[in-house]
Amino acid sequence: MSSPQPATPGDPTPNLLQTMDYSIVQQCMHCGLCLPTCPTYNETGRERNSPRGRIALMRAVADGDLPLSRGFAEEMDYCVGCLACQTACPAGVEYAQLLETSRAAGEQAGLLASPSRSVYRWLGLRLLMTRPWLLRLVARLVAIQQQPAIRKTLYRIGAMWLAPKTLRDLEPLAPLIDPPFSDARIKPFESPRSKPVARVALLTGCVQDIAYARVNRATVDVLLASGCEVVTPRMQSCCGSLHAHNGDLDTAREMARRTIDQFDWQSEQAGPLSFAQLDAVISNAGGCGSHLRHYGELLKGDPAYAERAAEWDKKLRDAQEYVYEAGGWQPAACLASSAPPSPAASPAAKPRLTYDASCHLCHGQKVVNQPVELLKRLPGYQFVPLGESDWCCGAAGVYTMTQPEQAQKLLDRKLANLRIAKPDVIATANPGCMHQLRLACREDAELAGVRVVHPMELLAEAVSN
């Protein structure tokens, strides 16, 4: 990465950092408590690769002492965005907002632009992720291509070589598409057997929907067993988290508006519905949930949506957080139907279960203990702690594509801790983390047989017994 260049005095063009609320930048006290928690600083030991160093760069750009430069944009791109620094920060610096604004400023100025990058960003962020019907259509075609016999035939006849090299390199790493998708697995309204104690709505997501729809089904099953009526709007759009994390704030705002509108809908079964009538809006993807909790900030300048977005933030809950904290209908009662193990049963005979914390779930949403406590209640497993559970696995959205070397170093560190824990099952609550760990375990001699699942899948299995 190149270093930011000296300032050009009198630059008349303001950037996003120069127009944002300056008090956010001023919050940083430069105490350095964030440094030990930062994966990139831990790797290089360079101040500029730390949250404190990046904030100093942001402030210099905001003050006009440094111009926006390619080096600045590369530094923001090098950040994992794990938000561990937010957990460590005693001043409560909203680093996520600073990072997203900085990346957006770099994108707006075209500092990292290239023809191929522009094409892939347009295809991915602007085309596929804004059109759920098209994403699902492409996913169905990919599901056909991923069938072993068809995939092997396509390579044998040379058809795969017609694709660009970038796509050929990514193809073996793509998540397995798992139809049918959420709308086919989940009804618009599902009610528990007893009188409902709450009404909640489920966000089905984009990648979660096409690759992990079974997690959405499991989440509904657990919510039903907990006494909740579950509303699931059809053909849901991407929530905009991928756009915000990658510097496309305009599209992120548009996707936020769409998401809010999708939960104000007309139903033949229940008439007009609004998310204001819901007890909670449930997300089961750590990275998406972290973004979804901040629609109020994202849309505060939109008079048509600001008030609704602020109300939305109050309703948003992670699935594990809600299920654990939902009082009398928390899974403690549900799981009582699963008989406890016999006193004579040896703990060593149970499968070893560990939990890898999604960065955005624990650092972004501050949902830390609830998933662990739920997993410890499962009677059929021996829970074993994972060292550095809250250290990033390297997935981080598209980080494996944009920073493959650093992503691999983070993954190697995670795998080293997993080998020490010796799990039979790994639970983690984000689709990117699930995919990253599943691929890595498959290629690792010591972890090849390990099952990687979402905690909701294990809870659903328990309540179905």
Query: What is the tens place of the pLDDT at every residue in 175-233?
Result: 899 999 999 999 999 999 888 899 999 999 999 999 999 999 999 999 999 999 999 99
pLDDT at 277: 84
Q: How many residues does the chain have?
A: 465
Q: Mean pLDDT of all residues in the chain?
A: 88
Is residue 189 helix, strand or coil? Answer: strand
Ranges 103-107, 115-119, 316-320, 354-358: which has the least confidence: 115-119
Answer yes or no: pTM beyond 0.95.
no
What number is the average pLDDT over the span 71-85?
Answer: 95
What number is the average pLDDT over the span 323-333?
Answer: 61
Asked whether 343 and 374 are in contact (CB, 8 A), the reply is: no
C-alpha span between 341 and 407 (Å, rounded): 40
Q: What residue ranges in 121-255 does DSSP mark as E strands?
A: 189-190, 198-202, 228-231
- Give residue 9's pLDDT band: very low, low, confident or very high (50, 70, 90): very low
Residue 18 burial (C-beta neighbours within 10 Å; 0-12, 13-18, 19+): middle
The alpha carbon of 134 is separated from its chain's Cα centroid by a whole number of angstroms, namely 21
C-alpha span between 194 and 197 (Å, rounded): 9
C-alpha span between 34 and 99 (Å, rounded): 15
116-121: long-range contacts, CB 8 A cutoff, minimum separation 24: 116/166, 120/166, 121/246, 121/248
Q: Tens digit of pLDDT for each residue in 238-251?
A: 999 999 999 999 99
Judging by DSSP bridges, how do beta strands 280-283 and 316-318 pair with one another? parallel
Phi, psi of 113 (to 5 degrees): -70, 140
C-alpha span between 20 and 15 (Å, rounded): 9
Q: Tens digit of pLDDT for each residue in 349-361?
A: 899 999 999 999 9
Asked whether 292 and 360 are in contact (CB, 8 A), the reply is: no
Statement: residue 342 has pLDDT above 90: no
Asked whether 203 and 281 are in contact (CB, 8 A), the reply is: yes
Which residues, listed in sequence order, are joined to residue 282 by a DSSP beta bridge?
202, 317
- The DSSP call for residue 2 is P
pLDDT at 268: 52
- ω before 180 within 30° of 0 (cis)? yes
Q: Which of 9-13, 271-275, 277-281 has the highest mean pLDDT?
A: 277-281
pLDDT at 337: 43
- Give residue 331's pLDDT band: very low, low, confident or very high (50, 70, 90): very low
Is residue 163 helix, strand or coil? Answer: coil
The torsion defined by the Cα of 159, 161, 164 and 170, in degrees rounded to 10, comes to: 90
Can you list the domains of the chain with their CATH numbers? 16-108 (1.10.1060.10), 115-173 (no CATH), 340-464 (3.40.50)
pLDDT at 357: 95
Sequence-distant (6+) residues with CB within 8 A of 35 are 41, 50, 51, 52
Statement: residue 344 has pLDDT above 90: no
The alpha carbon of 24 is separated from its chain's Cα centroid by a whole number of angstroms, namely 24
Statement: residue 333 has pLDDT above 70: no
Which residues, listed in sequence order, are joined to residue 318 by a DSSP beta bridge?
283
| Residue with more model confidence, 268 or 303 | 303
Asked whether 423 and 458 are in contact (CB, 8 A), the reply is: no
pLDDT at 270: 53
As a whole number of Å, the CA-based R_g of the chain is 23
pLDDT at 401: 84
| Residue with more model confidence, 167 or 360 | 360
What number is the average pLDDT over the span 29-35?
Answer: 93
